[in-house]
Chain A
């Protein structure tokens, strides 16, 4: 059974940055997306799983066997890990087919079997007819697919993708995300996909692990993470969100600068940090008065920035903004309780 388990994994990267402890699993057939800002330790986690770096504490198990930690460090080439690097790391002096042949050589495969696997991998990513091309002769999308084929050809225990689409344009990224999803569904190989792009994360993930400063901030399905962010950081990192400090008014109700909102899960608290998504707020003449600051067009509607008593909020509106215009804003949806300590004053936007 192909699966990956990280148990309290730690890595001292520098004097100022330590990773972990990290605990999460990637079962067979699942894509886990590591999401977080630059420098939060996502790529370091991949390097620990691949064996390129050693853990300082905790264990990493592949298929139930410890490969890192407890005094063990299995060599990367003995882990059967497929990896797509951020730079893709395609060897410029090798043709497409030679890239795959290189990683299979020395694996004790008969020539026929080896060539068969190479052909299947290239076919899987749609590059069979480009197998004689050098990397510099391939398009951006073909390069990404070749890197994926090279990662898959070794029949890996897990595939690690380190921001592979960071250089791709939006259209190509959408197309390749669908392709990665299709291939993963077909092969049922566990995958870890690293990105700082929330759209990529939501489009691809079975589970999202949100990371911040070397630690896991939240681990859950895309829906859980989006709808029930655990902290102010997650709420503001994943999608647009209004993080407000609220005061209890009884019966699960809270008073916020935008009016009253219901949050049963916070019942019993005197004060709480709440996350209210912009789609839970609407522009209405009955709402509290706010000043429009700016707005961005989102196809079917406008995401408006409004201000009230010095605080800024994001709300959806149907008409273009007129800076300085006064509008009424009303909470129509629910709010979600954040675990941050409400006695601590807000430090500003994350």
Chain B
């Protein structure tokens, strides 16, 4: 083994071990500890919880909410992605830049905005109630439907993002070959969309996983699903074993699509890398241009313009922003600072771990590469509540553990645990584009492992690494479910503050804080786009 190969193996190995200890071990400890009761192995905790009839109802409710969100996302996301990449839709570049904004707005903020839009104070809510003969609060009247719709409104851009990426990567000659013998409809159905299946499925899987694990939306819509139940069992009933047992179906539910997606992605049957610089083929929409334009406009209106407009409207003038941050008002400035610091730390750690793990995976043999890859995606299957309980069960111990558990470090580890897979996958995609030949050239020129790694590999993958950092940073900024479980006394994040303020009806301050949080998420995206001319990507 050469020094360089050893360097990659050692750094990758250490990073993988750290990743395992920080991101996987809490969940392993959580499930294993529930299997041992009174000094011996026991399935009592699982038996007690899982045989209850309400568990089955909970399961069905959770599945139906998540699947509805997925279905709506697919129905809307796939056509939108196709229209903005493959057609001559007017303003498609603008639509293609706006659609992802809901991803940087934490979902509970979207519910908050819509809850106020549908309230008695504005005409829409009363009009809907009158039209359908409804009474009381609209969202609370249909908790499951509302939860599904808001989860859809929050996560549908994931389907668009990954479908667009799939469509843009296709070799145009595949379509051209089909167009020599078939009409456009058959070309698009039989070739283009079929080849985009892995991207579409990955997008749907992400929507499913996010919807399954989301805590804020079902909480605000009062929809009792697993994510809420786990939280309730742990925080209100103080029953860690019951919470763990309740989380088991949630983890299994998350693992299934993840493993299917992995199998689909690794297969060669959908691989169609571009071999030409020719632009993507544009299909003329003809008579469908106006309906398609209305569809795209309506989607952007409902998902971006209306909720963000409402937040800006509710926030009002500069006084609200000042009041929300100033010590004389709500004094949320320290919360904002700590949220930014925690998110930046988690993002940096995720990128560093991801870089060394992905480097090992990219340059190692197939088996090792595949194992590292599998390990890195496992946290996708751990919803916020599961991560939270796992962290508590692992770190809530006397001695050195308390140095983590009683400080902000637990929050940073929690964020890393929840979102590092996104970082690792994005870094991995960036590294796969760095030809090993560049490293070999540096090596034969006399550069050692450290110089080659940082002067060549790291530098060449830098835009991808920046992209990974931003993705983890944005997701961390809005994290709520895990933070509610593990935030130590005296440590508050901005999402926690916003979430508690929502219930106290401080609408102007809440909206101002929401806008500030969205601005903080948007800023690195804008800087990245301006500096690199690229769009954010997600793997």
Q: Which residue of A lies closest to B272 (CB)?
A: A92
* Complex contact A92–B270 (CB within 8 A): yes
**Do B269 and A77 have beta carbons less than 8 Å apart?**
no
Is B397 positioned at the interface, with any CB of A under 8 Å from its CB? no
- Residue B177 at the A interface, CB < 8 A? yes
Q: What are the residues of chain A within 8 A of B275 when measuring CB–CB?
A: 86-87
A-side contacts of B270, CB under 8 Å: 92-93
A77 and B182 in contact, given A87-B173, A89-B176, A93-B194 (Cβ under 8 angstroms): yes
Does the CB pair A106–B173 fall under 8 Å?
Answer: no
Cβ–Cβ < 8 Å partners of B195 in chain A: 91-93
> What is B's interface to A at a CB cutoff of 8 Å?
171, 173-174, 176-183, 186, 190-191, 194-195, 197, 268-272, 275-276
Given A77-B180, A90-B177, 17 additional A-B pairs, CB 8 A: A50-B180, A76-B180, A77-B179, A79-B180, A82-B180, A87-B276, A89-B171, A89-B174, A91-B272, A92-B269, A92-B271, A93-B195, A102-B178, A102-B182, A103-B182, A136-B271, A154-B181
Nearest A residue (CB) for B179: A76
The answer, yes or no, to whether A24 is at the interface (CB within 8 Å) is no
Which label, helix, strand, loop or mixed, suits the secondary structure of the A interface?
loop
Given the interface contacts A92-B268, A93-B194, does A87 sit within 8 Å of B186 by beta carbon? no
A 74-112 to B, binary, CB cutoff 8 A, 1 in contact else 0:
001101011101110111110000000011111100000
Roughly how many angstroms separate A290 CA and B176 CA in the complex, as a whole number?
54
B194 touches A106 (CB 8 A): no
Task: Note all chain B residues with C-beta closer than 8 A to A93.
Answer: 194-195, 197, 269-270
**Which residues on B sit within 8 Å (CB–CB) of A50?**
176, 180
Residue of B nearest to A81 (CB): B180
Q: Using known A-B contacts A91-B191, A134-B269, determine if residue A83 contacts B177 with beta carbons closer than 8 Å.
A: yes
Q: Contacts A93-B195, A102-B190: A136 and B182 contacting too (C-beta < 8 A)?
A: no
Pick the residue among A52, A92, A106, A136 that contacts B186 (CB under 8 A): A106
B460 CB, nearest partner CB in chain A, Å: 25
Collect the chain A residues with CB atoms within 8 Å of residue B276's CB: 87
* Given the contacts A92-B269, A92-B272, A85 and B179 also touching, CB distance less than 8 Å: no
Q: Contact between A89 and B179 (Cβ–Cβ < 8 Å)?
A: no
What is the bound-complex CA distance between A102 and B174, given in angstroms?
Answer: 13
Using A77-B182, A89-B174, A102-B182 as known contacts, say yes or no to A136 and B268 having CB atoms under 8 A apart.
yes
Which B residues lie within 8 Å of A150 (CB)?
A: 177
Of all chain A residues, the one with the shortest Cβ separation from B269 is A93
Q: Are A106 and B183 in contact (CB under 8 A)?
A: yes
Bound CA–CA A154/B183 (angstroms): 15
* Contact, CB under 8 Å: B180 / A91: no
- 7 shortest A-B CB distances, which residue pairs? A136-B268, A89-B177, A89-B173, A87-B275, A103-B181, A85-B173, A76-B180
- 11 A-B pairs with CB atoms under 8 Å apart are A51-B180, A83-B176, A87-B275, A89-B174, A90-B177, A92-B271, A93-B197, A103-B180, A103-B181, A103-B182, A104-B181
Tell me the bound Cα distance from A145 to B195 in angstroms: 23
Complex CA distance for A315 and B270, rounded to whole angstroms: 52
Closest chain A CB from B307 CB (angstroms): 38
Minimum CB–CB distance from B173 to chain A (whole Å) comes to 4
- Contact check, A105 vs B177: say whether CB atoms are below 8 A apart: no
Residues of B within 8 A of A92 (CB): 195, 268-272
Closest to A156 in B: B180
**Nearest-Cβ distance from residue B463 to partner chain A, whole angstroms:** 26
Chain B residues, CB < 8 A from A52: 176, 179-180
Interface centre among A76, A77, A79, A86 (most CB of B within 10 A): A77
Q: Which residue of B lies closest to A77 (CB)?
A: B181
Query: What residues on B are CB-neighbors of A79 within 8 Å?
Result: 180
Q: With A and B bound together, what is the CA distance between A93 and B197 in angstroms?
A: 10
Q: CA–CA, A79 to B197, complex, Å?
A: 31
Closest A residue, CB atoms, query B186 = A106
- Bound-state CA distance A175–B260 (Å) is 41
Closest Cβ–Cβ distance, residue A192 to chain B (whole Å): 14
For A154, the chain B residues whose CB sits under 8 A away are 180-181
Cα A19 to Cα B489 in complex, Å, equals 74
Residues of B within 8 A of A87 (CB): 171, 173, 275-276
Within 8 A of B (CB), among A23-77: 50-52, 76-77
Tell whether, in the assembled complex, residue A85 and residue B182 are in contact, meaning their CB atoms are under 8 Å apart: no
A176-B145 Cα distance, complex, nearest whole Å: 61
Bound complex: CA of A103 vs CA of B187, how far in Å?
A: 10
Residues of chain B with a CB closer than 8 A to A81's CB: 180
Residues of A within 8 A of B174 (CB): 89, 91
In whole Å, how far is A42's beta carbon from the nearest beta carbon of chain B? 14
The distance in angstroms between the C-alpha atoms of A306 and B210, with both chains bound, is 72
* Interface bits A191-232 vs B (CB < 8 Å: 1, else 0): 000000000000000000000000000000000000000000
Which A residues are CB-close (under 8 A) to B197? 93
A85 and B176: CB pair below 8 A? yes
Q: In whole angstroms, what is the CA distance A154 to B178 when docked?
A: 12
Cα A102 to Cα B195 with chains together (Å): 15
Chain B residues within 8 Å of A134, by CB:
268-269
Cα A86 to Cα B276 in complex, Å, equals 10
Question: Which partner residue on chain B sits nearest A87 by CB separation?
Answer: B275
Is A91 in contact with B176, judged by CB distance below 8 angstroms? no
Interface members, chain A 105-141 (any B CB < 8 Å): 105-107, 134, 136
Distance in angstroms between the alpha carbons of A155 and B177 in the assembled complex: 15
Q: Enumerate chain A residues within 8 angstroms of B178, measured Cβ to Cβ.
A: 91, 102-103
Residues of A within 8 A of B171 (CB): 87, 89
Q: Could you tell me the distance in whole angstroms from the C-beta of A67 to the nearest C-beta in chain B?
A: 13
A76, B187: Cα distance in complex, Å: 13
C-alpha gap A79/B176 in the complex (Å): 14
Please measure, in the bound complex, the distance between the C-alpha atom of A92 and the C-alpha atom of B183, giving whole angstroms: 20
CA distance A326 to B262 in the complex (A): 67
Q: Which chain A residue has the least Cβ–Cβ distance from B176?
A: A52
Cross-chain contact B180 with A83 (CB below 8 angstroms): yes
CA distance A86 to B278 in the complex (A): 13
Given known A86-B275, A89-B173, contact A136–B179 (CB-CB < 8 A): no
CB-contact partner of B269 in A76, A104, A136, under 8 A: A136
Shortest CB-to-CB span from B29 to chain A, Å, is 41
Q: Which of B177, B178, B180, B272 neighbours the largest number of chain A CB atoms within 10 Å of its CB?
A: B180
A89 to B182, CA, bound (A): 15
Q: What's the Cα separation between A91 and B268 when bound, in Å? A: 11
Q: Which residues of A contact B180 (CB under 8 A)?
A: 50-52, 76-77, 79, 81-83, 103, 154
Known: A89-B174, A93-B269. A105 touches B182 (CB 8 A): yes
Q: What's the nearest-Cβ distance from chain A to residue B88, in Å?
A: 16
Q: State the CA gap A136–B191 with chains docked (Å).
A: 16
Rounded to whole angstroms, the CA-CA distance of A103 and B271 in the bound complex is: 20
Assembled-state Cα–Cα distance A92/B275 (Å): 14
Report the Cα distance A102→B269, complex, angstroms. Answer: 16
A150 to B276, CA, bound (A): 21
* Nearest CB of B to A19, in Å: 15
Which A residues lie within 8 Å of B186 (CB)? 105-106
